[in-house]
Amino acid sequence: MNPLSALNRLAGMKTTYGPGCGSERLPLLRIVARARFRTSAEVAQLHELLCFLHAYPDDARVFAQVHRMLRAFDVRADVRRWRTRLVNSGVAGADIVYPFGFSTARWLASRCGRNLTIEWNDVGNLAALEGRLQLFSAWAERPVFDEPPLEGRAWLDRLRGRETDAEFVIRRSAALPVRGMANDHLYDELGLTLRVTAGPGTPNRTRSRVPAHAVVPQPTPLRLARPDLLSEIRVPPRRIRRIGQPEARQLLDLARESMVTRSRDLYTFTAANLRDARLVDCGDGLEFFCIGVEPEQRLLLDTVYGILTLRNGVPIGYALFSALWRSSEVAYNVFESFRGGESAWVYGRLLATIHAMFGADTFTVDPYQLGHENDEGLDSGAWWFYYKLGFTPWDPATARLARAESAKVASRRGYRTNAATLRRLVRFNVFLQLGESRADVIGAIPTDRIGLKVTDYLTTRFGSDRERATVTLADEAAERLGAVRWRRLPPGEKLFWERWAPLVALLPGIDRWSAQDKRDLAAVIRAKGSRVESDFVARFDAHPRIGAALAALARRE
- Going from the C-alpha of 414 to that of each of 10, 118, 408, 410, 417, the distances in angstroms are 28, 49, 10, 10, 10
Residues in the chain: 557
Per-residue pLDDT at 142: 74
Span 18-58, pLDDT tens digits: 999 999 999 999 999 999 999 999 999 999 999 999 999 99
Per-residue pLDDT at 145: 57
Q: Residue 383 and residue 184: Cα distance in Å, rounded?
A: 34
Q: Say which residues have a Cβ less than 8 Å from residue 512's Cβ, sequence separation at least 6.
A: none
For range 224-247, the mean pLDDT:
96
How would DSSP label each residue in 174-227?
HTSS--HHHHHHHHHTT---EEE---TT---SSS-S-TT-------S----SPP
Q: Which residue has the higher pLDDT, 145 or 196?
A: 196
- Prediction pTM value: 0.94
| Under 8 Å between Cβ of 518 and 478 | no
Query: Angle, nearest 10°, between helix axes 544-555 and 448-462?
Result: 80
Percent of the chain whose pLDDT exceeds 90 = 85
For the chain, what is the mean pLDDT?
94
Task: Specify the amino acid at residue 87.
Answer: V
Going by pLDDT thresholds of 50, 70 and 90, the confidence category of residue 202 is: very high
- Residue among 226, 231, 235 nearest 389 (CA): 226
543 three-class SS: coil
| Under 8 Å between Cβ of 61 and 26 | yes
Rg of the chain taking only CA atoms, in angstroms: 26
- Residue among 232, 245, 327 nearest 286 (CA): 232
Long-range contacts of 265-268 (CB under 8 A, 24+ apart): 265/100, 265/101, 265/103, 265/104, 266/306, 266/318, 266/320, 267/293, 267/297, 267/304, 267/306, 267/320, 268/292, 268/293, 268/304, 268/305, 268/306, 268/320
Q: Is the pLDDT of residue 205 over 60?
A: yes
For range 426-444, the mean pLDDT:
93
Q: Residue 39 and residue 43: Cα distance in Å, rounded?
A: 7
Q: Is the pLDDT of residue 554 over 60?
A: yes
Q: Residue 230 and residue 502: Cα distance in Å, rounded?
A: 39
Span 132-188, pLDDT tens digits: 888 898 888 877 656 777 777 888 999 999 999 999 999 999 999 988 788 889 999
Span 100-124, pLDDT tens digits: 999 999 999 999 999 999 999 988 7
For range 470-494, the mean pLDDT:
93
Per-residue pLDDT at 144: 62
For range 8-12, the mean pLDDT:
96
Per-residue pLDDT at 134: 86
Q: Is the pLDDT of residue 193 over 70?
A: yes
* Helix or strand holding residue 311 (H, E): strand 303-311
Q: Residue 85 and residue 81: Cα distance in Å, rounded?
A: 9
Q: Residue 495 and residue 295: Cα distance in Å, rounded?
A: 8
Q: Is the pLDDT of residue 271 over 60?
A: yes
Per-residue pLDDT at 361: 96
Going by pLDDT thresholds of 50, 70 and 90, the confidence category of residue 195 is: very high
